[in-house]
Chains A and B, each alone.
Chain A
Amino acid sequence: EAGVVQSPRYKIIEKKQPVAFWCNPISGHNTLYWYLQNLGQGPELLIRYENEEAVDDSQLPKDRFSAERLKGVDSTLKIQPAELGDSAVYLCASSFGTSGRAGSNTGELFFGEGSRLTVL
């Protein structure tokens, strides 16, 4: 199994340009997450989807960031326009079920390899 697939792995753009990242979760995983990881920091949640619904986007900077998961499978995260401070690794993760339910894989997220963004 390929696991969570992300593309592109690396992206270099100039500030004010748009950029998009794509994620395909593990088959059957209904929960999808986008995390931001700045250099030397732990991952921080940007948005979480349950199927096609964004159930937690409180940390997503909505003035320039947007995300979608139209059919409840793969997802796209977009930044427009990019700023210098957006340089980071964007991680996608998926899981089956959510916490608090008996029998679910509570807290076990499966991560992709990440998309490293450099804004010049």
Chain B
Amino acid sequence: AQRVTQPEKLLSVFKGAPVELKCNYSYSGSPELFWYVQYSRQRLQLLLRHISRESIKGFTADLNKGETSFHLKKPFAQEEDSAMYYCALLHGSSNTGKLIFGQGTTLQVKP
């Protein structure tokens, strides 16, 4: 069964420190993975997708099929990065467009 696991409920770092939010998935096919973010008092929104291989707000994420991981990284955390981050897997076997979300990790960047 498709599953997304984010092992950390809370990640707390100091400003300027590197950040890595962990995400592991379980999926038999070719996965499409995303990171969504929810800032305080804002709606859930797409941060980045692995297909694009893009860097958004300094964040990158590399798909590692061998480790079935899609960790989100940023070399120098900023206070405005504090938010809830969700890793999501697209159930793509039947063009459903169904996203399966992990439980989320709260990133707290301290000054």
Q: Which chain A residues have a beta carbon within 8 Å of chain B's beta carbons?
A: 3-4, 31, 40-45, 48, 55-56, 91, 93, 95, 97-101, 106-114
Q: Which of B9, B43, B46, B98 contacts A56 (CB 8 A)?
A: B98
CB distance from B29 to the nearest CB of A (A): 12
Residues of A within 8 A of B83 (CB): none
Mostly helix, strand, loop or mixed at chain A's interface?
loop
Residues of B within 8 A of A112 (CB): 43
- Sample of 13 more A-B contacts, CB < 8 Å, known A4-B43, A42-B86, A107-B32: A42-B102, A43-B86, A45-B98, A48-B98, A56-B98, A99-B92, A100-B95, A106-B32, A106-B49, A107-B90, A108-B46, A109-B46, A110-B45
Kindly report which residue of chain A lies nearest to residue B41, judged by CB atoms. A113
Q: Which chain B residues have a beta carbon within 8 Å of chain A's beta carbons?
A: 4, 6, 9, 32, 34, 43-46, 49, 51, 86, 88, 90, 92, 95-104
List 24 A-B pairs, Cβ < 8 Å. A4-B43, A40-B104, A41-B103, A42-B88, A42-B101, A42-B102, A42-B103, A42-B104, A43-B44, A43-B86, A43-B99, A45-B100, A48-B96, A48-B97, A98-B95, A99-B97, A106-B90, A107-B32, A107-B46, A107-B99, A108-B49, A111-B45, A112-B43, A113-B43
Q: Are A31 and B97 in contact, CB atoms less than 8 angstroms apart?
A: yes
Q: Are A91 and B44 in contact, CB atoms less than 8 angstroms apart?
A: yes
